[in-house]
A and B are shown apart, each in its own frame.
Chain A
Amino acid sequence: MRVLNLICHQRNMNSVKYNREGDLLFTADAGGKIAIWNSNTGELLGSLEGHQGAVPAMCASDDSRFMVTGSGDFSLKTWSLENGECFQTIESGLPADMVMSNDSQYVAISIQPVMAYKSSIQIFKYDKNTGLLSDEPIQQILKSSEDEANGLMGFARIGFSFQDKYLFATTDDGHLLRYDFEAVLKGDFTKRENIRIHKGVIRDIQFSQDKTYLITASRDRFSKLIDVETLKVMKSYENMHPLNTAAITPLKNYVLIAGGQNAKDVTTTDSKHGGFEIKLLHKIFNQELSAFKGHFGPVNNIAVSPQGTSFTSGGEDGTVRVWFFEPSYFNYEDGL
Chain B
Amino acid sequence: MTDIDINNYDFSDYKDISLDNLVIDTSSIDEELANKYNYKPIDDSFDFFNDMDSFIIINGLPVAPIAKLNALSKVVNKIFSSCGEIISLNIPTSESSTKGFAFVQYKDSLMAKKAIKLLNGKNLDNSHQFKVNSLNDLEEFGCEEFNSTFVEPKVKKPISTDILDKWLLDGREQFLMSIDDDSQLVWNQRSDVPKLICDNNQWVEAAPPRFTSNGSYLISLHKDHAKSWGGAKMELINDFHHKNVIKYDISNTNKFLVTFSSTPINESYGMFDKSNYGHSVAIWDLQTGALLKTFPLPALSNEVQKPLTWPFVKWSTDDSYCCRAGPDAVAVYNTKENFKLNDLIKIPNLQDFEFSPKKIVLNKNRNIDTDLLIYWTPDIQNQNCKVTMMEYPKKNILRSVNMMQAINMSFYWQNNADYLAIKIDKFANKAKTKLCSNIEVINFAENNFPVTKLELKERVLTISWEPSSDRFVTAAIDENLYSLDDTLPPKVVQFFNTINNGGKSWVLAYQTGRTHVNKLSWSPLGRILTVNTCCIDKKQKNSELIFYDLDYPGQSNIITKLLNIEKAEKLVLSKDRRARSRAAEDVNLSGTQVDRKGSVFNNGNNLRLRELKSYTNFSFTDVCWDSTGRFFTAFCSVAKYSTGHGYAVFGLNGLPIRREEQMGFKWFAWRPRPQSTLTTQELKKIKKNLNEYAKKFKDLDSRIDDLNYARLQQEREDLLNEWNAYRNEVIKIVGEEYVFDMDPYVDSLEKAEYSGDVVISTKDVVLDDEDFENSIK
How many residue pairs between the two chains, A and B, have CB atoms under 8 Å in the bound complex? 155
B773 to chain A, nearest CB (A): 7
A205-223 at interface with B (beta carbon < 8 Å): 208-210, 212-213, 221
A130 in contact (CB, < 8 A): no
A326 in contact (CB, < 8 A): yes
Q: Are A251 and B719 in contact (CB under 8 A)?
A: no
How far, in angstroms, from A290 to B663 measured CA to CA in the complex? 20
**A1-32 Cβ-contact flags toward B at 8 Å (1 or 0):** 11111111000000000001111000000000
**B743-777 Cβ-contact flags toward A at 8 Å (1 or 0):** 10111010111111011111111110101110111
Q: Are A1 and B742 in contact (CB under 8 A)?
A: no
Q: Are A2 and B572 in contact (CB under 8 A)?
A: no
Knowing A42-B764, A273-B644 touch, does A251 contact B741 (C-beta < 8 A)?
Answer: yes
A193 in contact (CB, < 8 A): no
A43 in contact (CB, < 8 A): yes
A328 in contact (CB, < 8 A): yes
A225-243 at interface with B (beta carbon < 8 Å): 227, 229, 234, 240
Q: Are B766 and A326 in contact (CB under 8 A)?
A: no
Q: Tell me which of A2, A229, A250 contacts B730 (CB under 8 A).
A: A229
Knowing A162-B734, A285-B719, A336-B717 touch, does A21 contact B642 (C-beta < 8 A)?
Answer: no
A296-336 at interface with B (beta carbon < 8 Å): 306-309, 324, 326, 328-329, 332, 334-336
A95 in contact (CB, < 8 A): no
Contacts of B761 in A (CB 8 A): 7-8, 42-44
Knowing A5-B765, A210-B740, A270-B541 touch, does A290 contact B775 (C-beta < 8 A)?
Answer: yes
Q: Are B773 and A306 in contact (CB under 8 A)?
A: no
B746 to chain A, nearest CB (A): 4
Q: Are A7 and B759 in contact (CB under 8 A)?
A: no
Instruction: Kindly state the interface size class of chain A when it binds its partner.
Output: 35 or more
B187-233 at interface with A (beta carbon < 8 Å): none
How far, in angstroms, from A304 to B141 measured CA to CA in the complex? 87
Q: Are A6 and B741 in contact (CB under 8 A)?
A: no
Q: Are B746 and A22 in contact (CB under 8 A)?
A: yes
B700-727 at interface with A (beta carbon < 8 Å): 713, 716-717, 719-720, 723, 726
A272 in contact (CB, < 8 A): yes
Q: Are A229 and B733 in contact (CB under 8 A)?
A: yes
Q: Are A328 and B767 in contact (CB under 8 A)?
A: no
Q: Are A41 and B739 in contact (CB under 8 A)?
A: no
A52 in contact (CB, < 8 A): no
A40 in contact (CB, < 8 A): yes
A92-112 at interface with B (beta carbon < 8 Å): none
Q: Are B739 and A210 in contact (CB under 8 A)?
A: yes
B542 in contact (CB, < 8 A): yes
Contacts of A284 in B (CB 8 A): 716, 719-720, 723
How far, in angstroms, from A261 to B642 measured CA to CA in the complex? 11
Contacts of A212 in B (CB 8 A): 730, 734, 738-739
How far, in angstroms, from A250 to B769 measured CA to CA in the complex? 23
Q: Tell me which of A40, A210, A221 contacts B754 (CB under 8 A).
A: A40
How far, in angstroms, from A58 to B619 measured CA to CA in the complex? 40
Q: Tell me which of A3, A240, A292, A306 contacts B746 (CB under 8 A).
A: A306
Q: Are B730 and A289 in contact (CB under 8 A)?
A: no
Contacts of B739 in A (CB 8 A): 210, 212
Contacts of A40 in B (CB 8 A): 752-755
Contacts of B541 in A (CB 8 A): 269-270, 273
How far, in angstroms, from A292 to B754 measured CA to CA in the complex? 21
A83 in contact (CB, < 8 A): no
A268 in contact (CB, < 8 A): yes
Contacts of B752 in A (CB 8 A): 22-23, 40, 307
How far, in angstroms, from A53 to B743 measured CA to CA in the complex? 34
Q: Are A21 and B746 in contact (CB under 8 A)?
A: yes
A291 in contact (CB, < 8 A): yes
Q: Tell me which of B741, B767, B773, B776 contacts A3 (CB under 8 A).
A: B767
B643 in contact (CB, < 8 A): yes
Q: Are B619 and A42 in contact (CB under 8 A)?
A: no
Q: Are A6 and B769 in contact (CB under 8 A)?
A: no
A274 in contact (CB, < 8 A): yes
Q: Are A336 and B772 in contact (CB under 8 A)?
A: no
B506 to chain A, nearest CB (A): 38
Q: Are B719 and A250 in contact (CB under 8 A)?
A: no
How far, in angstroms, from A274 to B139 measured CA to CA in the complex? 70
Contacts of A5 in B (CB 8 A): 762-765
Q: Are B719 and A227 in contact (CB under 8 A)?
A: no
B699 in contact (CB, < 8 A): no
Knowing A3-B767, A251-B742 touch, does A335 contact B716 (C-beta < 8 A)?
Answer: yes
Q: Are A1 and B767 in contact (CB under 8 A)?
A: yes
B11 to chain A, nearest CB (A): 82
A134 in contact (CB, < 8 A): no
Q: Tell me which of B717, B741, B762 contacts A250 (CB under 8 A).
A: B741
How far, in angstroms, from A163 to B717 measured CA to CA in the complex? 32
B262 in contact (CB, < 8 A): no
B661 in contact (CB, < 8 A): yes
B617 in contact (CB, < 8 A): yes
Contacts of B775 in A (CB 8 A): 290-292
Closest B residue, CB atoms, query A322: B762
Q: Tell me which of A227, A269, A286, A332 contacts B642 (CB under 8 A).
A: A269
How far, in angstroms, from A4 to B734 measured CA to CA in the complex? 38
Q: Tell me which of B751, B755, B759 contacts A307 (CB under 8 A).
A: B751
Contacts of B745 in A (CB 8 A): 20
Q: Tell me which of B713, B754, B760 contacts A324 (CB under 8 A).
A: B754
How far, in angstroms, from A23 to B750 measured CA to CA in the complex? 11
Q: Tell me which of A253, A286, A307 contacts B742 (CB under 8 A).
A: A307
How far, in angstroms, from A21 to B751 measured CA to CA in the complex? 10
Q: Most A CB atoms within 10 A — which of B661, B720, B772?
A: B772
Q: Are B726 and A227 in contact (CB under 8 A)?
A: yes
Q: Are B771 and A1 in contact (CB under 8 A)?
A: yes
Q: Most B CB atoms within 10 A — which of A212, A261, A294?
A: A212
How far, in angstroms, from A27 to B692 measured CA to CA in the complex? 65
How far, in angstroms, from A326 to B739 measured CA to CA in the complex? 27
Q: Are A209 and B742 in contact (CB under 8 A)?
A: yes
Closest B residue, CB atoms, query A241: B643
How far, in angstroms, from A40 to B720 measured CA to CA in the complex? 33
Contacts of A309 in B (CB 8 A): 751
Knowing A7-B763, A273-B644 touch, does A289 contact B741 (C-beta < 8 A)?
Answer: no
Closest A residue, CB atoms, query B643: A273
Knowing A250-B741, A270-B542, A291-B572 touch, does A2 contact B746 (C-beta < 8 A)?
Answer: no
Closest B residue, CB atoms, query A251: B742
Contacts of B747 in A (CB 8 A): 307
Closest A residue, CB atoms, query B764: A4
Contacts of A250 in B (CB 8 A): 741-743
Contacts of A20 in B (CB 8 A): 743, 745-746
Closest B residue, CB atoms, query A324: B754
How far, in angstroms, from A192 to B743 measured CA to CA in the complex? 28
Q: Are B713 and A336 in contact (CB under 8 A)?
A: yes
B725 to chain A, nearest CB (A): 11
21 A-B pairs within 8 Å (CB atoms) are namely A1-B767, A23-B752, A38-B758, A41-B760, A42-B762, A209-B740, A210-B741, A212-B734, A227-B730, A250-B743, A251-B742, A270-B541, A270-B619, A284-B719, A284-B720, A284-B723, A290-B772, A290-B776, A290-B777, A309-B751, A328-B776
Q: Which of B's residues lie within 8 Å of A, judged by CB?
A: 541-542, 572, 617, 619, 642-645, 661, 663, 713, 716-717, 719-720, 723, 726, 730, 733-734, 738-743, 745-747, 749, 751-756, 758-767, 769, 771-773, 775-777
**8 A-B pairs closest in CB distance:** A42-B762, A250-B742, A306-B746, A273-B643, A290-B775, A3-B765, A43-B760, A1-B772
Q: Which of A's residues lie within 8 Å of B, judged by CB?
A: 1-8, 20-23, 38, 40-44, 162-163, 208-210, 212-213, 221, 227, 229, 234, 240, 250-251, 253, 261, 268-270, 272-275, 284-286, 288-292, 294, 306-309, 324, 326, 328-329, 332, 334-336
Additional A-B contact list (8), CB under 8 Å, known A4-B765, A5-B764? A2-B767, A163-B734, A221-B663, A227-B730, A253-B723, A286-B719, A334-B720, A336-B716
